[in-house]
Amino acid sequence: MSHGRIDNRYLIVATILGLAAIGAFVTMAMEMGEDFAVPGLIALGIVGAVVFKGPVGKGLARRIENGPAAEPSPELMAEMDDMRGRLLELEERLDFTERMLSKAREPERVNGPQG
């Protein structure tokens, strides 16, 4: 993919979201009439200008300029694999702890509180 081009997936998602927003706006405008449509368009324009002038717009512009993100480095992938392994180990330890705690409370539930 060359620099300056947007991935087709993003265009498809943006198109679907845009069409859904237009459809929702038209439906609401038909239900509520001009009292909704005109102020709604003005508000959408202001909100859109503020959003695209801010960090979201700047980030989007950088993304369009630079093209898709580069492939992650092998070091980063190795670190991610290590983190996955550690997370799986933590999940196993948590499951074990939960089983031990539930076994310790099991006689209390069956016999009632002792003492």
Local structure of residue 68 (DSSP, 8 states): S
Say yes or no: 62 and 97 in one domain. Answer: no
Domain residue limits at 91? 72-115
* Most distant CA pair in the chain, distance: 76
Q: Which of the listed residues 44, 66, 88 is the one where a domain comes to its end?
A: 66
Q: How many domains does the chain have?
A: 2
User: Which of 84, 83, 63 shows the shortest CA–CA distance to 11?
Assistant: 63
**Looking at the domain assignment, is residue 2 inside a domain?**
no
In the structure, how many helices (H) and strands (E) does the chain have? 4, 0
Query: What are the pLDDT digits (tens) for 17-45?
Result: 888 888 888 888 888 877 777 887 888 88
* Residues 59 and 66: beta-carbon distance below 8 Å: no
Query: Would you place residue 72 in the very low, low, confident or very high pLDDT band (cuts 50, 70, 90)?
Result: confident
Query: What are the pLDDT digits (tens) for 1-22?
Result: 444 455 677 778 888 888 888 8
**Looking at the domain assignment, is residue 57 inside a domain?**
yes
Residues 6+ apart with CB under 8 A from 38: none
Query: What are the pLDDT digits (tens) for 90-104?
Result: 999 999 999 999 887
Say yes or no: 52 and 94 in one domain. Answer: no
Provide the whole-model pTM.
Answer: 0.36
